Amino acid sequence: MKIPFPNNFEPQKPLKIYDYQDITIIIFAKSLKPNQLSLVNLYQQGIIPPHWQLKEPVVCKPHSFQLSFHEGININIEMGKVSFSYKKKAHSNSLDIIVNNFIAKIISYQFQRFQIVFRRLITFPKGKCSGLNFINNNLLSLQESRIQVNSISPHKIQLNFVYKLENQPLLISVIDTPVIKKKNNYSGLLFRGLINDENTKRLNRNKYQDNHSGSNIISNYPKYLDFFNQIVNSYLL
């Protein structure tokens, strides 16, 4: 049987959203300086596999040294810290290996601590929702009047959640944020996960060999990432 639809009927189109994710591991070391390292040096010490090729030319600045590889991993060396990052869609299995190689072989900078940062940015289709409304209506479930002061609504909202994974705290923040993509403005949510190693004050060679807690945390980052995404997908969205 043919169903008569109204003349102005428009079937609902699938909602297209932008879902971006990256992972960064940051090593802090007070005595680390960009001019102490080079691409050749990292190859020679076996920190970077010899078959890796640069995706872009090396970026050298007075206070930073940046490398970008076809394998999806980016390395940024600054005064006092070095960060290793990649986009989730690149699906790199080498991130923890590269970081642990760096810790094990570059031992003269007295490593103090590290951070693991997960970021996931999700946008809403135009006119459908906003990050501010989503947090207010879905996560806070508060009427707008209850969060107004003198009829003024908050300009931004940020929520923090803390989960304990194997005695390692995972802090998850939810922040509403504007997104500009292809000259279009969107409203979005930024989910940020942070593992901050406060217990490991220094990762020198002796401690690295005798106590693998820091290395294990870095090597297990995929498990923490899965937990982070499970929370975002199942409980926050």
The DSSP-derived string for 24-46 is EEEEE-TT--GGG--HHHHHHTT
Domains of the chain, residue spans: 15-25+114-200, 31-109
- Indicate if the pLDDT at residue 213 is higher than 70: no
pLDDT in tens, 3-61: 444 455 444 444 456 788 999 999 888 888 888 888 999 999 899 999 999 999 999 88
Asked if 217 and 199 touch (Cβ cutoff 8 Å), the reply is no
Residues 6+ apart with CB under 8 A from 181: 18, 123
pTM of the complete model: 0.76
**pLDDT at residue number 123:** 81
